[in-house]
Amino acid sequence: MMPAAPAWSVLFFVMLFTLGVDSQFAMVETIVTAVVDELPLLKKGRRKIAVVGVFCLVMFLVGLPQCSLVSPGGETNGGGGAERAVAPPPRMQQTRWGQNSLNKNVLPRNTKSEYCIV
């Protein structure tokens, strides 16, 4: 076990947070610079600040559905999609060994899994 393990874990997650914030700054600056370069009238005065504000607001509104508790089907799942992350892909169905959903005999690709490709 490492000495001062809680301190290392805090430093690790602070590093991940700063990496994410830095990535967002780079993305915003890239998009805003491209828009301002294409539309020179936005370079005057405080218009670039307005472009940054509008871009950040739009991206915030686009990201809200990712944080909600309602799935695309409309039912509440309580996890914001976490259950879908561990569920099998839609084209995979749980079946008995050696049979797919059409009752055709198939060899399972992975003998450790109970999922066969449909």
pLDDT digits (tens, 9 = 90+) for 28-86: 999 999 999 999 888 888 888 899 999 999 999 988 888 776 555 555 545 445 555 55
Q: What tokens were used for 92?
A: 């995979």
- pTM for this model (two decimals): 0.50
What is the b/e burial string over 61-91, where b = at least 16 CB atoms within 10 angstroms of the residue's CB?
A: eeeeeeeeeebeeeeeeeeeeeeeeeeeeee
Best CA proximity match to 95, nearest among 104, 84, 86:
104
Share of the chain above pLDDT 70, in %: 57
Q: What tokens were used for 30?
A: 């890239």
Q: Given pLDDT bands bounded at 50, 70 and 90, which one contains residue 93?
A: low
Q: Given pLDDT bands bounded at 50, 70 and 90, which one contains residue 115?
A: low
Sorted by sequence, the CB contacts under 8 Å of residue 78 that are 6+ apart come out as 69
Alpha carbon distance 43, 32 (integer Å): 11
Q: What's the pLDDT score for residue 67?
A: 78
Q: Say whether pLDDT at 89 is over 80.
A: no
8 A C-beta contact, residue 93 and residue 115:
yes
